[in-house]
């Protein structure tokens, strides 16, 4: 009986030894895990996947495009305005220069008209004709000889001066200039001389870039 009991004792279970995995299988399994991880990362980096997210990205792109276009349009408008302003300024400067030249020419013509020197009447008359045109030149030219005889016969002397001059109206090739002037006139009957004051309206016309007097009127 003892032997039987001993014979039926179950053998104690032996711990299973670890099964060694071949190196090739381990490398392949690690490679598969690495590829799975890379795929997950690539999915995260691919950007928005939903349609709403894609719409938001598209909308933001359109907004940036419109901002760029609007900025370019504003720059073009500002440049165009600057060009127009520059042209306007240049035109203004040109008109201002023309008016100044017209006033200077009118002053000189009136001064030549009111200045008479003994023995220089003809030279003075020729100088007056050089600054004249149109009706004034024709009228003075027709009376020139009579004018010279009167000055020489009465020994007329006149010292003229300009008090003020300015534009009344002007255009691209014409201007009306108001001139305030004075002179001291002497002759055979008035050797001490007498002071006189004048107000003249001088119509100026631009001929070949020169301002010439086309009409001279004495006004009250």
Could you tell me the CATH number of the domain that includes residue 144? 3.10.450.50
Alpha carbon 55 to its chain centroid, in Å, reads: 45
Domain membership of residue 114 (yes or no) is: yes
* Mean pLDDT of the chain, nearest integer: 73
Stated as kind and residue range, the H or E segment containing 200 is strand 190-207
Domain membership of residue 134 (yes or no) is: yes
More confident residue, 55 or 218: 218
Residue numbers of the domain that contains 194: 86-218
Domain membership of residue 185 (yes or no) is: yes
| b/e code 154-186 from CB counts within 10 Å (16+ = b) | eebbbebebeebebeebeeeebbbbbebebebb
Q: What is the predicted pLDDT for the residue at 6? A: 43
> Is 50 exceeded by the pLDDT of residue 73?
yes
117 confidence band (pLDDT: 50, 70, 90): confident
Percent of the chain past pLDDT 90, that is, above it, reads 43
Q: What is the predicted pLDDT for the residue at 54? A: 52
Q: Answer whether 0.85 is exceeded by the pTM.
A: no
Domain membership of residue 54 (yes or no) is: no
Q: How many CA atoms lie within 13 A of 51 on its CB side?
A: 0
**202, 203, 121: which is closest to 155 by C-alpha?**
121
Domain membership of residue 195 (yes or no) is: yes
Domains: count for the chain: 1
Domain membership of residue 79 (yes or no) is: no
| CA distances (Å), origin 50, targets 37, 46, 54, 78, 196 | 22, 11, 6, 43, 99
């Amino acid at each position: 009986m003892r032997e039987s009991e001993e014979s039926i004792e179950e053998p104690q279970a032996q711990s299973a030894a670890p099964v060694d995995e071949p190196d090739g299988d381990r490398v392949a399994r690690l490679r598969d895990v690495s590829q799975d991880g890379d795929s997950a990362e690539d999915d995260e980096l691919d950007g928005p996947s939903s349609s709403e997210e894609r719409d938001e990205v598209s909308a933001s792109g359109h907004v940036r495009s419109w901002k760029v276009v609007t900025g370019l349009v504003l720059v073009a408008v500002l440049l165009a305005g600057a060009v127009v302003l520059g042209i306007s300024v240049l035109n203004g400067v040109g008109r201002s220069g023309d008016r100044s030249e017209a006033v200077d020419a009118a002053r000189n013509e009136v001064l030549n008209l009111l200045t008479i020197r003994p023995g220089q009447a003809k030279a003075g008359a020729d100088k007056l004709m050089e600054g004249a045109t149109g009706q004034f030149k024709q009228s003075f030219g027709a009376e020139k000889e009579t004018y010279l005889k009167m000055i020489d016969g009465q020994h007329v002397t006149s010292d003229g001066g300009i008090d003020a001059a300015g534009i009344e109206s002007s255009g691209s090739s014409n201007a009306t200039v108001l001139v305030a002037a004075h002179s001291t006139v002497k002759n055979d009957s008035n050797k001490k001389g007498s002071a006189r004051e004048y107000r003249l309206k001088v119509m100026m016309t631009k001929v070949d870039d020169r301002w010439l007097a086309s009409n001279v009127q004495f006004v009250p």
